[in-house]
Amino acid sequence: MVRLLDANVLITAHNLYYPINRVPEFWEWLVHMGNTNRLKIPVEILEEITEKSPIGQWLKEADNAASLRLDEDADPGLVQTVIAAYAADLNDTEFIEIGRDPFLIAYAMANRAERTIVTVEASKPKTQRANRRISDVCNDLRINWCDSFQMLSVLNFTTSWRSALDGNGHD
């Protein structure tokens, strides 16, 4: 199972509980999970992270961005299907508001059995149009999703994650 991360997963982790300079183990773990194809971030979502932010700077270090980047192109038909799940007649302002979330969802839709979206957005099923949350659109389209803490639990993140690797450096 590949988990596709929304930008808010990295932003919230850095801002609230795993600052890059205080918990480097988390950020090293993300790269490791990217290298083992358990976590990926579509390029459209990576582009949402400003280069001036601490996360943008971190992504530019070593091969961090390359390790996490999902190496494929979005299916335009699936992106349109996702956009229609928000509303069939979004206006220009609403398109700006939903941003690149439809791409993230479309990548998961391309391989539902093998992909789960990770987001920190809380479900608000009554919201409509551009205010819809990723989790609610995923529910409507039968796409797996979870929050950051569910991901950390399933993938067994600990700050001593390296000690769980075997003697060859592989898990």
pLDDT (0 to 100) of residue 171: 53
When the pLDDT of each residue in the chain is averaged and rounded to a whole number, the result is: 93
Write the CB contacts of 147 (distance below 8 Å, at least 6 apart in sequence).
Answer: 118, 119, 120
What are the pLDDT digits (tens) for 64-94? Answer: 999 999 999 999 999 999 999 999 999 999 9
Whether residue 170 lies inside any domain: the answer is: no
Whether residue 122 lies inside any domain: the answer is: yes
Whether residue 72 lies inside any domain: the answer is: yes
What is the pTM (predicted TM-score) of this model? 0.92
Whether residue 71 lies inside any domain: the answer is: yes
Whether residue 167 lies inside any domain: the answer is: no
pLDDT (0 to 100) of residue 170: 54
What are the pLDDT digits (tens) for 100-124? Answer: 999 999 999 999 999 999 999 999 9
CA distances from 73 to 11, 42, 152 (A): 24, 9, 27
CATH at residue 88: 3.40.50
Whether residue 10 lies inside any domain: the answer is: yes
What is the number of domains present in the chain? 1
For residue 165, pLDDT beyond 70: yes
Range of the domain at 49: 2-162
